[in-house]
């Protein structure tokens, strides 16, 4: 592999494949746990069945011995009966004859004092004739056996003689608990579980794969439609499924997002068109005055032409500054982590004292003296308040009243003029960019149409609000800003 060649990823990238692999892996863990539990439970129950069979065989042998009858050597379960004082077995069967014991017992002889032992382990000698294919033969080694003792006082002399033992001999019957049945059942169960588990994993993975594929079809349709949304065709919307599940919520969210983007694009187009229109008016006036002055230099009032050019240039400069400020506000640049504390009362007092009222007589008063602290940028607060005062000054007839008061955790500031006011239906539209009300503003005496829009953006930037409150006379703008705590309140 080339050193610059990217390494191939073995993990599947498809959501369907990942979901199928995850489901199969989870199912494999669960099935492995279930298989382990079933394996041990089957082996335990099969062993219990083998023990029960050995006990049944033991009781049958004991019944025959108590009747003085030698048990039949043909038995499905290995057994042997031994007696004290006798070197050979009284009876045996079920594969115990393969040991060829000769004159010695294969099973140990019973002790002189009998004990009631039902289950024990006995180590058998090696069996040279052991046949692994025979389930009832015993190979030797340590084996589990069930035992029962028959004391001499239970048997009469005639029964003891019939069994070939002395009258005072104690008998013990051994029945070997064969593990082959339990092991065979467990092995068979393990093979069935393995096959069933593999088939289940394949079916689970396939079912998950196709289920996720079917579930993702609406998502693919949403992706195709979303990819078709372009700047030339921004009104394309995805189809909302009627199922009411998560895909419906996704489609609704995407349509809402596309609508917001469409509105933002339309607003941007209107903003560009309005900005171009606003720039064209002073540029046209400036160009016309300069061309006339150049065409007729001897009849041109050059001081008046320079005054007109300077006025239109200042208008262009103000418009450019407002546009730059709006662009900066649109970037949502956060306020500094440790903003300054600004006294809005002192700032308003300074603005009202310095505000030029030369064009027409106006009374501008600020009747608040209590400090109104707010956290933020002093320059931005000054721009916000100046825009509100400029707007009131353009529309006031004789008087502008400014009030500031502390209200719980807020600083509430109002700017009220006695002008023509604003119609109720235009209470929100006046905060849009480049909006001028025909009956209240004119381009010749008004601003750029961005003052209130900038003021509201600055208020929102400082976590405040700017609204137009209803008044019977004039317009009243209310500014609410979070109040900064005083040193005594900290």
Q: What is the 3-state secondary structure (H, E, C) of 119-152?
A: EEEEEECCCCCCCCCCCCCCCCEEEEEEEEEECH
pLDDT in tens, 125-150: 777 777 766 666 777 778 888 888 88
**Angstrom distance (rounded) from CA 3 to CA 90:** 83
**Angstrom distance (rounded) from CA 276 to CA 158:** 133
**Angstrom distance (rounded) from CA 116 to CA 113:** 10
How does residue 411 score in pLDDT terms, banded at 50, 70 and 90? Answer: very high
Looking at residue 37, its pLDDT comes to 94
Looking at residue 443, its pLDDT comes to 46
Q: Which backbone phi and psi does 429 adopt, to 5 degrees?
A: -70, -25
Looking at residue 374, its pLDDT comes to 92
pLDDT in tens, 291-306: 888 888 888 888 888 8
Looking at residue 490, its pLDDT comes to 58
Looking at residue 30, its pLDDT comes to 93
Q: What is the dihedral of CA 267, 273, 274, 276, to 10 degrees?
A: 140
Q: Are strands 79-83 and 119-124 parallel, antiparallel or unpaired?
A: unpaired
pLDDT in tens, 308-329: 888 888 878 877 887 787 777 7
**C-beta separation of 474 from 401 below 8 A:** no
Looking at residue 337, its pLDDT comes to 55
Looking at residue 327, its pLDDT comes to 76
Of 275 and 4, the structure prediction assigns the larger pLDDT to: 275
pLDDT in tens, 36-93: 999 999 988 988 888 888 888 889 988 998 888 888 877 778 888 988 888 888 888 8
Average pLDDT over residues 378-391: 90
- Highest mean pLDDT among 206-210, 228-232, 363-367 belongs to 206-210
Looking at residue 439, its pLDDT comes to 41
How does residue 385 score in pLDDT terms, banded at 50, 70 and 90? Answer: very high
pLDDT in tens, 245-256: 777 888 888 888
Burial class (CB in 10 A: 0-12, 13-18, 19+), 211: middle
Enumerate residues 6+ apart whose C-beta is below 8 A from 487.
none
Distances (CA, A) of 396 to 58, 71, 366, 440, 441: 119, 129, 15, 10, 11
């Amino acid at each position: 592999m080339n050193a610059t060649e990217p390494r191939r990823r073995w993990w599947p990238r498809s959501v369907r494949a990942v979901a199928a692999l995850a489901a199969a892996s989870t199912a494999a863990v669960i099935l492995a746990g279930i298989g382990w539990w079933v394996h041990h439970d089957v082996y335990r129950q099969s062993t219990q069945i083998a023990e029960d069979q050995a006990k049944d065989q033991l009781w049958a042998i004991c019944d025959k011995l108590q009747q003085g009858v030698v048990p039949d050597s043909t038995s499905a379960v290995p057994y042997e009966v031994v007696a004290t004082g006798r070197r050979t077995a009284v009876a045996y069967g079920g594969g115990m004859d393969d040991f060829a014991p000769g004159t010695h017992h294969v099973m140990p002889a019973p002790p002189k004092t009998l004990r009631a032992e039902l289950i024990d382990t006995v180590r058998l000698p090696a069996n040279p004739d052991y046949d692994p294919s025979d389930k009832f033969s015993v190979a030797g080694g340590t084996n589990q056996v069930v035992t029962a003792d028959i004391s001499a006082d239970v048997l009469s002399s005639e029964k003891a003689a019939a069994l070939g033992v002395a009258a005072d001999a104690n008998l013990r019957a051994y029945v070997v608990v064969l593990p082959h049945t339990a092991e065979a059942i467990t092995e068979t169960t393990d093979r069935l579980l393995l096959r069933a588990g593999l088939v289940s994993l394949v079916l689970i993975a396939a079912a998950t794969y196709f289920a996720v594929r079917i579930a993702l079809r609406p998502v693919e349709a949403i992706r195709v439609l979303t990819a078709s949304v372009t700047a030339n065709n921004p009104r394309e919307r995805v189809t909302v499924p009627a199922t009411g599940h998560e895909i419906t919520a996704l489609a609704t969210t995407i349509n809402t997002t596309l609508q917001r983007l469409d509105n933002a694009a339309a607003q941007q187009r209107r903003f560009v068109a309005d900005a171009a229109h606003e720039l064209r008016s002073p540029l046209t006036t400036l160009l016309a005055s300069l061309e006339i002055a150049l065409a007729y230099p001897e009849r041109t009032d050059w001081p008046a032409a320079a005054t007109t050019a300077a006025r239109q240039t200042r208008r262009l400069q103000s418009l450019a500054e407002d546009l730059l400020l709006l662009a900066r506000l649109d970037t949502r640049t956060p306020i500094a982590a440790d903003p300054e504390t600004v006294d809005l009362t002192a700032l308003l007092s300074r603005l009202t004292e310095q505000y030029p009222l030369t064009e027409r007589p106006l009374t501008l008063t600020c009747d608040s003296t209590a400090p109104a602290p707010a956290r933020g940028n002093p320059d931005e607060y000054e721009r916000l308040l100046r825009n509100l005062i400029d707007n009131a000054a353009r529309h006031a007839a004789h008087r502008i009243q400014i009030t500031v008061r502390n209200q719980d955790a807020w600083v509430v500031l109002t700017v009220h003029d006695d002008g023509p006011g604003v119609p109720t239906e235009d209470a929100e539209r006046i905060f849009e960019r480049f909006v001028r009300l025909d009956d209240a503003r004119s381009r010749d005496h008004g601003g750029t149409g961005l003052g209130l829009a900038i003021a509201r953006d600055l208020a929102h930037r400082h976590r405040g609000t700017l609204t137009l409150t209803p008044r019977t006379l004039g317009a009243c703008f209310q500014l609410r800003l979070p109040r900064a705590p005083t040193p005594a309140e900290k």
